[in-house]
Structures are given as structure tokens and as C-alpha cells.
Amino acid sequence: DSGVTQTPKHLITATGQRVTLRCSPRSGDLSVYWYQQSLDQGLQFLIQYYNGEERAKGNILERFSAQQFPDLHSELNLSSLELGDSALYFCASSPYSSSYNEQFFGPGTRLTVL
Amino acid sequence: AQSVTQLGSHVSVSEGALVLLRCNYSSSVPPYLFWYVQYPNQGLQLLLKYTSAATLVKGINGFEAEFKKSETSFHLTKPSAHMSDAAEYFCAVSESVAGGYNKLIFGAGTRLAVHP
């Protein structure tokens, strides 16, 4: 158990819908990262927040957005869902924003878009 | 930009045999490198990391990796495979940018099968 929690574990929805994925980082970690894992793209970095502020953006679609709240939990919002958005979405956390800090991953949310 | 290449998407070994999973990186600066393992239906768990302190890094579950700058490699090894080692293994490099943020760039992964 990494100490990172993600809810829900599974999510099944239809095209065009909007969903919110939630992540609680390890106690004391200030950085939260979101990754997408799919069969064709592998593990892709989406976005990073540090202490409530957006720090880095990766291959995140404009239909996706995220935020980190004062209690440091984070939410990833996915809208106008398409079949291709079906994937595993991981949240990870680390104490700070340093390159040498390992990231601790949550169990993931499996999103299925029908 | 940094990148990671994992040679061999599938590796199969016998129980008790040597495990060797290959990882090569591309980086213009001294890299921070990581190996993660993903068991079925689970998240990623850190096996070990290289942060320039020592070239031979020991991790959990008997795994180790050696950083070779001249070969730009960070191969993962385990002397004797166990059935419980069957999983997918990811090599990653941490890319940092001025401003104090970083992200992990992952290889495509290697699925390790261990047979009796």
C-alpha cells in the first residue's frame, strides 16, 4: 500500500459524458501527478500540481482538466468523453517537486467509455 | 528531450533463472532513473532508483540495477527468478525543467513471465 488513494476504482460511462476522478496523496506529500495508461500509448504524464498550483503539463487534452485543493487532494475532470479515453488513470504523489524524488502511485481508476 | 527504451516487450524465464530486463535512456543531463513494477490490476510500485550516489543500486525483492553511463543503460537484474516476480516492469527517467517541476518518462514496459 503506497498510501495514495484513488476513487472510484472502476468507472463505466458513455461517450459525451463527464467524469471526475479523485486522488488523495500520501500524508505530507505536496506534489500530485496524473498519468494515463493505455494499450496504444503506454504510460503518459498528464499534469502535475504542487501545493495547489499547476506546475507542469504533459499530453493532456483540452477536454481534461485538474485541480489540487487546499487539503492537497486532487481531482481530474474528463469531459466530452470519447471511446479512446478508455484507460487506466493513475495518480502519484511525492514530497516535493524534485527530480530525484520517487513518485508513489495509487491503485488507479479504470475508465471505460462505451 | 529525455526518453527511455526497453528492449523486449516480453521476457520469459524459468523459476530460479537469472532475470535481465534491459533499459536504455537518452538524456542530455545526468539522469535520475527508476524501475517500477506493476502487478495485475494494481498500481506501480517502486523497485529501485538511481540518483548518482552509487552506480549499483539494490532494490526490493532481490532486484538490482547498474547504471552505465558509457552505455546509457540501467538494466534490471535478479539472480534467481521466483514465480511471484511475474509482472510488468517499467523503466523511467525523471525529466526536470527550470521552475522546479518534473515528470516521469516511462518506457513501454517489459512483461516478465516465470515458468516452473
Are residues A91 and A34 in contact, defined by beta-carbon separation less than 8 angstroms?
yes
Please state, in angstroms and rounded to a whole number, the distance separating the CA atoms of residues A57 and A49.
9
Please state, in angstroms and rounded to a whole number, the distance separating the CA atoms of residues A30 and A55.
12
Q: Mean pLDDT in chain B?
A: 91
Tell me which chain A residues have a C-beta less than 8 angstroms from the C-beta of B100. 50, 55, 97-98
Tell me which chain B residues have a C-beta less than 8 angstroms from the C-beta of A56. 97, 101-103
For residue range A56-66, list pLDDT tens digits in order: 888 899 999 99
* Least CB–CB distance from A42: residue in B97, B99, B108: B108
Please state, in angstroms and rounded to a whole number, the distance separating the CA atoms of residues B74 and B23.
5
In terms of pLDDT, which residue wins out, A97 or A35? A35
Beta bridge partners of B89: B37, B110
List the single range of A52-56, A72-76, A86-90, A94-98 with lowest mean pLDDT: A94-98
pLDDT of amino acid B62: 96
Please state, in angstroms and rounded to a whole number, the distance separating the CA atoms of residues B63 and A64.
37
